[in-house]
Structure 1
């Protein structure tokens, strides 16, 4: 599990997040090459004593600096559109969970089960146990089976919220009166932390999200326990 306070991206725990990390590296390399070319051009222009007598009429240069940026934009746009399509594709989910944002906590409804719903509040600092993260731990974690497509239905009861888990590459707005959906697959067991990413009021910083990915047999035992309680 990546520490939430580390610099840069957290370790990818889903295929979508792996694609996002690859796209980030791809785009960063393009920006690096452009910056290098611009710096080289500026250095040459500042250090040379030669002048061009045809500086007022250079159609070739104008064609290059018009076509080259267009090609660069295509190189960046095509992988981006591919990832957007993958993030929007929802096919045959194994589990559907409805997440409702409140001021200031989350509630979860497992729609495949009749009586499985609960609220998830942040654990106060005084009640934390050794090893738990301050302002990130909750009293009821959302448990999901690993390596299974999970569909999230996300809405809000009062104001705008945003349900975000960085290590899973998920960030979806929770809007009152509207039901947004997203999907993800946790590729390995672990505990993944997130927070509301919309400034939703005074206690905006105190409505964390915790997902626990477990093997399917552990999830079945947990679901039976939740339905009994």
Structure 2
């Protein structure tokens, strides 16, 4: 089964290579956001895998119900059957579901184990604290870096250089994004300062509750540079819908440069990073 996961992940990685460097919720979206981690690809595979069981079972039950309604209607059967049991049918509907559940349970347990078992020791630890209605982030380094991230007001877009609604969408753009290096295992310690929140990043395949007085641990390893959006996923008060999460994945060099500058001037470091990324994108586009 692990080989199946690996093959599916490799195939998904090939097709994901053409995905945009931006993951966010889209209007009328019916599928997952583009996967940015191997874990998310496994989750997407498992969802499709379970549909091969769910859809036929649903259609079978629907067909059986329709048949019974038609076959055993009162006009066709004025005297109903008095059959109390049927051994063969009872054996089939007992053993059949057990087998199906085994086919679902084994890869499910493997996926659950993988979600709580990082492939390597985390190189970066980040603490995320949910507040009503923003996030505090702390990079747990020798010289810690802390800042607050909140919804970006429309009036501040020009000052922040985030007027592009496609890259910085309404209700998802924040004033200060979390910045992490690509292909690096990141541990996230999640908690809350007031009420329950939830830290969710769909493209990474991570989601956990932020509970006051408790620390929950998750991890991710982003494989593609870009800007990724999530949201608080636990009803936490009147501004629950205005509590986005934004993570920018950059190269190791860009991350180190940003980190050094951010300790002295976070807004300036963010603007410099955005300028470096925009410049690199323009060069890449011109080269193509």
- When the two structures are superposed, what TM-score results if normalisation uses the length of structure 1? 0.91
Equivalent residue pairs, number: 226
Confirm whether residue 35 of structure 1 aligns to residue 58 of structure 2: yes
- Shift in Å, 1:214: 0.7
| SS of match in other structure, 1:8 | coil
| Aligned residue in 1 for 2:131 | 102
| Aligned residue in 2 for 1:112 | 141
Confirm whether residue 204 of structure 1 aligns to residue 240 of structure 2: yes
Q: 2:156 aligns with which of 117, 120, 127?
A: 127
| SS of match in other structure, 1:205 | helix
Inter-partner Cα distance in structure 2 for 1:200 and 1:187? 31
Inter-partner Cα distance in structure 1 for 2:188 and 2:113? 17
Q: Contact 2:182–2:249 at 8 Å: present in 1 too? A: yes
| SS of match in other structure, 2:247 | strand
Confirm whether residue 189 of structure 1 aligns to residue 217 of structure 2: no
- When the two structures are superposed, what TM-score results if normalisation uses the length of structure 2? 0.73
5 Å matches for 1:58-73?
A: 58-73=86-101
Structure 2's unaligned 5+ residue stretches are 1-21, 158-162, 266-288
Inter-partner Cα distance in structure 2 for 1:75 and 1:139? 46
Inter-partner Cα distance in structure 2 for 1:66 and 1:220? 58
Task: Point out the structure with the larger helix share.
Answer: 2
Q: 2:106 aligns with which of 71, 78, 87?
A: 78
| Aligned residue in 1 for 2:272 | none
| SS of match in other structure, 1:127 | helix
Inter-partner Cα distance in structure 2 for 1:157 and 1:24? 34
C-alpha distance after superposition, 1:194-226 (max 9, x if no partner): 111111112111121000011111111111111
| SS of match in other structure, 2:184 | coil
CA RMSD in angstroms comes to 2.0
Inter-partner Cα distance in structure 1 for 2:82 and 2:135? 66
